[in-house]
Chain A
Amino acid sequence: MKKLTIALAGNPNAGKSSVFNVLTGSRQHVGNWPGKTVEKKEGHFQKDGYEITVIDLPGTYSLTAFSPEEVIARDFIIDEKPDVVVIILDSANLERNLYLAVQVLELGARGIAVLNMIDIADSRSIKINKEQLSKLVGIPVVTTVASKGEGISDLMDCIMNIANEVTK
């Protein structure tokens, strides 16, 4: 079976855990990052002939050397070279959340932007033009409400598209 590694990055409170839980269901493993007292969550799922490993990176606002969490997140992207980094963004606080996204992309990672909790943005009449966002940043963009499972199949499709591209 073809293997694929995806990493989840995002600010604390952006709904990273919800996305992680709906993607991996019950197949999760919680441990520590080697040599660090920071929790590492890893999960698996299978789709279209791929065995997909999902790594939940520590929730951070940035990727500087300021805290162990940030160093862990960026080291993982540099050293393990995940096939896709799914960047979870809180749609209602897009501007602040994009700072991490920019840094992930500067690392040269292949990214997917997830506009999560889009329902809350909607309820505050915040409208996000996702096609425009995708064009300007140069990565696919999907909208989700992960806690209710909405938009997850779009995200799956997006991941599988990239999978097919990567392993072509």
Chain B
Amino acid sequence: MKNQALLNKKPFEINYGQETETEINKLVKIINQTPTLKSLYPPRWLAIKLLESDEDIAQRLSAIPGSTELYTEAQASVESLKKILGDDVDILMADQRYRWINSLVKEVVMKPDQSILTNSDKIDKIVTNRFLGIPIFLIFMWIVFKLTADVSAPYLDWVEGVINGPIARWTTSFLGWIGLGDTWVVSLFMDGIIAGVGGVLVFVPVLMFLYIALAVLEDSGYMARAAFVMDRLMHALGLHGKSFLPMLVGFGCTVPAIYATRTLENKNDRILTGLLVPFMSCGARLPVYVLFASIFFPKNSGKVIFSMYLLGIVVAILLGVIFKRTLFKGKEQSAFVMELPPYRIPTLKGVWRHTWERTGAFVKKAWTIIMATSVILWFLMSIPTGGQGSFANTEIGNSVFASVSKAIAPAFKPLGFNSWEASGALVTGFVAKEVVISTMSQAYAAGEPDEEVEETPTFLEDLGEIVKSFAESTLDTIKSLPLIVGVNLLGEEEEAEPTALMDAIKESFEESSNGNGWLAALSYMVFVLIYTPCMVAIAAEWHELGAKWTWVSIFGQLFLAWLLSFIVFQGGILLGLG
């Protein structure tokens, strides 16, 4: 009965005018006499597509026996119609459809005077203005990064407190209760899983604020304007305007951004954009900047983080220009049509949905890939080398992991950070950028003496404390909102109390760079920005761009990361900035 669905009582038809209709009917007659065709396509539609010289249909017909006559006949019809009507049939047919629609709309739609500007038009006059457009775009981006860097900070502290306090305590007591206290399992959970996954979950608030901001920009319709505004700039640089959308998405996560290159029609544009997208600094790289900026640039962390994002954009633009002139030279650009949806006030539900989807994906990653890497790393860090110590009871500096990292470390010497902890974190960062910090917390923290256990609070006290500190964080967050415009309600900004990890990193970087710690930190951040985003991104590239371009991407990024970090560190020293 399925075919019945195609048979409307009164079939929908547009009258394409006497001459065209004659040709359509001629073709329909032939189609009706060819059973193979009649069963595959609605006859009138097929006739229309043939007159439109539809490439896809032509290709399919060539594979169907008995269609040669039809195809030849159709060609003849197209030619003769062009002579009679004086223009290409496909254009005339499209035109006829628009006329039909136009008259339909006149019948059924009552519109107010067209000269009245809608609110969207009014906003667009300012926001997409030739001169104001780009500054407004940068201001919005600045607000987004302030939100993520400053406003989320109190929650960050809260999550950290909950994980390192109550959760760590509950895990220990639980393991003790099932009889595994004082075994290597405790170390696996505390130094492996909680240190690894916990170190990543701490950044959930940062990402949530980023995703909320992006969702508001997307749902309000501003994101499309941002692409439109940047389109002029992109074209000036020889890139495709539509490439900007995947790039914008790339600030959230590289993986969907690579998939978003699908919106580009031209294959070369897709590949070029796919190669550049990873330089857009994704959300997972942000925690690394946040950590390093707060250690080495406590007063200017916002600016340093922002400049990382800018650097990524600049690198992408320059590479785009170079590729366009070399690898993709002379390849045509497809025309760019972009729709600006009307502005809408974002709904809470919509923003929440987007935010939750993305944050959820991040948390899921923390639980799967990062959990697995953390456990593997813990084992690598627990297996001793050179006969010193025993399993799970070895100085981390004597572990298998340290030996591997030490072997690589000299490659980073000219970049200012050849400690095995730092290079080891880059190795694991290949899997996911979220792991960079967790590796560091495992590598550095494992070398510290255990903190003294204070009087253990009860379960209920813990719960109460969690709720209370959450409320305090919320209050702090509200107070910190004016920070976006530079007003500080939090009073004298307390120097955030450096954690043990922060101290360890600072010491290690100062040492490996001969006292040029902040240059080494900058060089490290640049490396993290430029090299392979994560395993999942590689999988996405493989899927969308193919193996060849994926390899180009991986090795190109490694080389470029090393080169730029080298320039930052050595250049900085040459300029006497150290």
Q: Which residues does A use to contact B, with CB under 8 Å?
A: 12-13, 37-38, 64-67, 71, 78, 81-84, 92, 94-95, 98-99, 102-103, 105-111, 120, 124-130, 132-133, 136-139, 147, 166-167
Contact = CB atoms under 8 A, between A and B. Distances in A.
Interface residues of B, number: 49
A108 B11 contact: yes
A149 to B, nearest CB: 11
Given A98-B105, A133-B108, A92 B8 contact: no
Contacts of A130: 108
Given A106-B45, A106-B48, A107-B42, A132 B347 contact: no
Most buried by A among B7, B108, B259, B341: B108
Interface stretch (B94-102, B414-422, B511-519, B525-533): B94-102
Nearest to A4: B5
A110 B350 contact: no
A126 B111 CA distance: 5
A37 B104 contact: no
B5 A110 contact: yes
B14 A106 contact: yes
A37 B112 contact: no
A37 B105 contact: no
B339 interface: yes
Given A38-B262, A81-B5, A102-B101, A137 B12 contact: yes
Nearest to A92: B342
B64 interface: no
B54 A78 contact: no
Contacts of A124: 112, 118
B109 interface: yes
Contacts of B105: 94-95, 98
Most buried by B among A13, A108, A133: A108
Contacts, number: 111
A136 B104 contact: yes
Contacts of A65: 54-57
A98 B12 contact: no
B109 A125 contact: no
B265 interface: yes
A158 B140 CA distance: 44
Contacts of B112: 124-126
Given A81-B6, A108-B7, A132-B108, A167 B12 contact: no
A108 B101 contact: no
A78 B41 contact: yes
Interface string B53-92: 0111100000000000000000000000000000000000
A83 B42 CA distance: 15
A81 B5 CA distance: 7
Contacts of A64: 52, 54
B101 A82 contact: no
Contacts of B111: 125-127
A128 B108 contact: yes
B108 A78 contact: no
Given A65-B55, A92-B342, A133-B108, 15 more contacts: A13-B339, A37-B259, A65-B54, A65-B56, A78-B41, A94-B109, A98-B101, A99-B101, A107-B45, A108-B6, A108-B8, A120-B344, A127-B110, A127-B111, A132-B108
B48 A82 contact: no
Contacts of A132: 107-108
Identify the 8 closest CB pairs spanning chains A and B, nearest first.
Answer: A65-B56, A105-B12, A108-B42, A127-B110, A125-B112, A13-B341, A133-B108, A83-B5
A102 B97 contact: yes
Contact of B108 (A81, A83, A136, A167): A136
A120 B342 contact: yes
Contacts of A107: 42, 45
Contacts of A106: 12-14, 44-45, 48
Interface in B325-348: 339, 341-342, 344, 347
Contact of A98 (B41, B52, B104, B347): B104
B235 interface: no
Nearest to A129: B108
A71 B56 contact: yes
B10 interface: yes
B499 interface: no
B2 interface: yes
A39 to B, nearest CB: 8
B543 interface: yes
A22 B121 CA distance: 30
Contact of A136 (B4, B13, B107): B107
Contact of B339 (A12, A84, A127, A167): A12
Nearest to B40: A78
Interface string B1-34: 1111111101111100000000000000000000
Nearest to A84: B5
Contacts of A139: 8, 12
A24 to B, nearest CB: 15
B431 to A, nearest CB: 24
A99 B262 CA distance: 23
Contacts of A110: 5-6, 8
A142 B543 CA distance: 40
A126 B109 contact: yes
Given A81-B6, A83-B2, A166-B1, A37 B543 contact: yes
Nearest to A101: B101
Given A38-B262, A65-B55, A98-B101, A109 B14 contact: no
A3 B387 CA distance: 69
B4 to A, nearest CB: 6
